[in-house]
Structure 1
Amino acid sequence: MGQLTKYQKWAFVLPLIAVLIWSLNIAVTRYVADYISPVSISFYRWLVAFIILTPFMLPKVWQQRGLIRQSLGKLAIFSAFGMVLYQGLAYTAAHYTTATNMGIVNAFVPIFTIFIAYFILKDKPNLFAILGSVLSFAGLIYIISQGHLSSLLQQGGHWGDALMVVAVTFYAFYGVFLKKWQLQIPLMSSLYVQIAFALLYHLPFVLWFGLDSINASNVSSVLYAGIFPSLIAPLLWMLAVQAIGPNRTSIFMNLMPVFTAIIASLWLSEQWTIYHSIGGVMILVGIVMAQKKTVKAPARMVESAN
């Protein structure tokens, strides 16, 4: 028991590193927007991950092909929502908004999950979830409008934030579908098949828009996206869930806006303003409130989605 307790304490570092990796990826997404198209970075990201995983996972997936075949359609849906629509829209949003704002919008996954789960899983949100969601949404609107609500519809720059909201909505759907179906497939096998589908989904876009070449300006970003947020962070997250449980692990997701803002400030010279502070506090308080007495379901969403 003593060893388990020490391991559990050490395991709290795992989700912290995972969230840091995902936060840095948001900054990388914003940085690389000037050097490579959204379609290209998204395709290369999953190609790198697929190449790395293939020697280890292809034999296992072949052995499990009967089990995987039964859930092939659902795995295709997971890939479409979680890898293509979510990440593809995020890469597009990076052309029109800041990494700081992207990190803040990303924090809405638990909120959106609560309400999507209500319609799909019939998990009725309680009063805390409703009030917390309203407060968080008000904070998001305040940040998007840069503290001036009257200018919300007057500036085209808000389209990037709107795209990020749509992207996060797809990610929340991804988590809800994972909970609804609960496939009995090993997580790494599921991840590998989803990545394969993601590459197939990208082919029409690659044929239509073409691929930017990998060069000195974007190669480090491509490799980072393909290795760290795609493979290492999900593995650390899954280990943390096994060691300390999904509820405790999910709490660390609330650090993503903070980590992203710090990284964006130091690396991209983005400014943290008063409207970020006011709106950020509103969002975080709303998220904590929304999870009160309903934390179990959203936590399972985050566990599965990442």
Structure 2
Amino acid sequence: MVAGSSLVAATLFWAGNYVLGAVAVGQMDPLSLVVLRWALALVPLVIIAQLTERPDWRRLARHWPWLVALSLTGLAGYNLLLYAALEHTSPFNASLINAFAPALILLAAAAFLRQRLTLWGVGGVVVALVGVLVVLTDGALGDLASLELGAGDLLMIGAIVVWTAYTIIGRRAPALPPIASTAAQAAVTLVATLPFALAGGLDLPRDAGGAWSLVFIALFPSVLSYLLWNRALTVIEAGRAGVYLNLITVFTALATVLMGQPLHLAQVLGGVLVLAGVALTSRRPSAPPLADTVDAGGGTQARGA
């Protein structure tokens, strides 16, 4: 019960990253938002890691090539593309495209980690892909040949490709304390992005709404979601936890309705197909499997949204 509640809360906060991220990029450019997010999150992450994991920071630093690769793909690259996408598309649309990520990870794991696809996995990828196409075409699948993707759609597709790379790198990386590793990645991200943000002029929130959006993003999706997610993984297997990630799209849809924004039938239908497809990729056969399947939850990696 506690583990389930922790996972629900974690996904709720990650959904908030889409909704309030859209508010924040109305006042700050994506690079400034990434810099300020991880600058504010770094100290709490270090403190929590020290209290809960007591990591050997020097030993962690010896794995710097892995930390740099994870930082540039996950914390920097994914979030830069996500926030740039939110300048051009709705939070719900972005979350729907993002929901295809577990299926894409399944394909990447088969290609790069030599993990075999099950029939359920292949079927799930196909169903999820159809769902994404329904969203991108606004339900007009017959117009697929003449489809012109918007900037937000292209950026969000780029974001899930980068997140897939982050996940594959994470699975090849040595086992590291998850919260301490996230803190180290936040530090690397800050060092890598701050000079560019300062050179271009660091944007700050212009009003209370922008400031509170930034504070929420820095503390809840960046710190508390990671803490709750990894706490839950101590008592629930990662495969079961991964299914909870589908709630990000559900919570984003609810927030969209509560904010008075319209939901279109194509979005709802596409979302149902994407979630159904991801559920199929996470399905485990009742008999002992003949082939390995990919954990949609990304092992001990938190979502990082």
Using structure 2 for the length normalisation, give the TM-score: 0.88
Separation in 1 of the partners of 2:230 and 2:181? 13
Gaps of 5+ in 2: 285-290
Residue 178 of structure 1 contacts residue 305 of structure 1 at CA under 8 Å; is this kept in 2?
A: no
- 1:254-265 equivalences under 5 Å are 254-265=246-257
Q: Please name the residue that 2:276 is paired with.
A: 285
Separation in 2 of the partners of 1:258 and 1:295? 29
Q: More deviation in 78-87 or 282-291?
A: 282-291
2:295 aligned to 293, 298, 301, which one?
298
Deviations 1:68-94 (A, max 9, x none): 232111011111111001011000000
Secondary structure of 2:235 counterpart: helix
Q: More deviation in 19-28 or 143-152?
A: 143-152
Q: Structure 1 residues 282 and 272 mapped into 2: Cα distance closer, same or farther (>3 Å)?
A: same
Q: Structure 1 residues 94 and 152 mapped into 2: Cα distance closer, same or farther (>3 Å)?
A: farther
Structure with more helix by fraction: 1
Q: Structure 1 residues 62 and 128 mapped into 2: Cα distance closer, same or farther (>3 Å)?
A: closer
Gaps of 5+ in 1: 1-8
Separation in 1 of the partners of 2:166 and 2:103? 14
1:127 Cα deviation after fit: 2.1
Percent identity of the aligned residues? Answer: 25
Q: Please name the residue that 1:127 is paired with.
A: 119
Using structure 1 for the length normalisation, give the TM-score: 0.88
1:63 Cα deviation after fit: 7.1
2:28 aligned to 8, 11, 36, which one?
36
Residue 104 of structure 1 contacts residue 256 of structure 1 at CA under 8 Å; is this kept in 2?
A: no
Residue 171 of structure 1 contacts residue 305 of structure 1 at CA under 8 Å; is this kept in 2?
A: no
Separation in 1 of the partners of 2:189 and 2:292? 30
Residue 247 of structure 1 contacts residue 296 of structure 1 at CA under 8 Å; is this kept in 2?
A: no
Which amino acid letter does the alignment assign opposite residue 192 of structure 1? A
1:302 Cα deviation after fit: 5.2
1:251 aligned to 222, 234, 243, which one?
243
Deviations 1:233-273 (A, max 9, x none): 01000011112221221111111111101102212x32111
2:178 aligned to 160, 163, 187, which one?
187
Deviations 1:246-305 (A, max 9, x none): 1221111111111101102212x3211111122122212211222223896324515314
Q: Please name the residue that 1:97 is paired with.
A: 89
Q: Structure 1 residues 130 and 234 mapped into 2: Cα distance closer, same or farther (>3 Å)?
A: same
